[in-house]
């Protein structure tokens, strides 16, 4: 899921360090969770910073000495980093949804149902429905019929196929 988080620029700008290591710290924060924990490989960080492994290693050592993060490592494994609080991304707090909850008495699914076949027959639908009735417009049938004639493609939601009795598609379109 895509999320947006704020970078605490004032804290990053207050670091007395060159821009390269500062940018690497931002890249490291990109991989961190809400608690500041992350474990990108050195190759991942080098690729993100577009620098050599040696440069990234040197910058990480500087940042660790400055207290920007702590790191630990098991032999033969990647480093596990925990960013210091000032350098963690600022995640938005959970907000209440701006959409009002569904009204009592009618399920949300019931409001989204298509017009039942019995109502279609009762209204005398001959293939040209009105949009407000929940039926397809006449212009919707043309691409459907092209698909049927060229490839035999027909979705069940469009009703009976053109070669079946009760087809909703207009006869004028070449059923």
pLDDT at 99: 65
Query: What whole-number distance in Å separates Cα of residue 5 and Cα of residue 135?
Result: 43
Q: For the segment 62-86, what is each residue's pLDDT rounded down to a tens digit? A: 999 999 999 998 888 888 999 999 8
Regarding whether 125 and 80 lie in a shared domain, the answer is no
What's the half-sphere exposure (Cβ side, CA atoms, 13 Å) at 120? 19
Percent of the chain whose pLDDT exceeds 70: 71
- Calculate the alpha carbon distances from 129 to 70, 80, 100, 155, 159 in Å: 66, 62, 31, 18, 13
Range of the domain at 83: 9-87
Q: Does residue 126 carry a pLDDT above 50?
A: no
Q: Give residues with Cβ within 8 angstroms of 157, minimum separation 6.
A: 114
pTM above threshold 0.85: no
Q: Does residue 131 carry a pLDDT above 50?
A: no
Regarding whether 118 and 72 lie in a shared domain, the answer is no
Is 167 inside a domain boundary? yes
Query: What whole-number distance in Å separates Cα of residue 85 and Cα of residue 8?
Result: 10
Q: Give residues with Cβ within 8 angstroms of 132, minimum separation 6.
A: none
Q: Which pLDDT band, with edges at 50, 70 and 90, does 51 fall under? A: very high
42-49 helix and 19-31 helix, angle to the nearest 10 degrees: 120
Regarding whether 117 and 70 lie in a shared domain, the answer is no
pLDDT at 54: 95
Q: Which pLDDT band, with edges at 50, 70 and 90, does 112 fall under? A: low
What does the DSSP assignment read for 147-175? HHHHH----GGG-S-TTSTT--S-GGGT-
Q: Which pLDDT band, with edges at 50, 70 and 90, does 157 fall under? A: confident
Q: Does residue 129 carry a pLDDT above 70?
A: no
Q: Which pLDDT band, with edges at 50, 70 and 90, does 128 fall under? A: very low
- Which one of 69, 87, 105 terminates a domain? 87
Query: What whole-number distance in Å separates Cα of residue 128 and Cα of residue 167?
Result: 12
Regarding whether 33 and 77 lie in a shared domain, the answer is yes
User: Which of these, 137, 132, 133, 131, lies nearest to 168 by C-alpha position?
Assistant: 137
Q: Which pLDDT band, with edges at 50, 70 and 90, does 138 fall under? A: low
Per the structure, the count of domains in the chain is 2
């Amino acid at each position: 899921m895509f999320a947006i988080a704020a970078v605490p620029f004032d804290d990053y700008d207050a670091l007395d360090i060159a821009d390269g290591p500062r940018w690497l710290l931002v890249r490291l924060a990109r991989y961190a969770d809400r608690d500041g924990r992350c474990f990108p490989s050195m190759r991942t960080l080098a690729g993100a910073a577009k620098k050599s492994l040696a440069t990234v290693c040197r910058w990480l050592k500087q940042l660790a000495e400055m207290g920007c993060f702590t790191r630990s490592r098991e032999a033969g494994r990647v480093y596990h980093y925990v960013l210091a609080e000032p350098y963690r991304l600022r995640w938005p707090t959970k907000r209440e949804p701006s959409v009002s909850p569904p009204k009592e008495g009618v399920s949300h699914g019931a409001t989204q149902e298509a017009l039942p076949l019995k109502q279609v027959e009762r209204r005398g639908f001959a293939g040209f429905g009105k949009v407000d009735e929940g039926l397809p417009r006449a212009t919707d049938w043309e691409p459907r019929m092209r698909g049927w004639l060229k490839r035999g493609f027909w979705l069940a939601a469009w009703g009976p196929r053109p070669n079946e009795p009760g087809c909703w598609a207009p006869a004028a379109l070449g059923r």
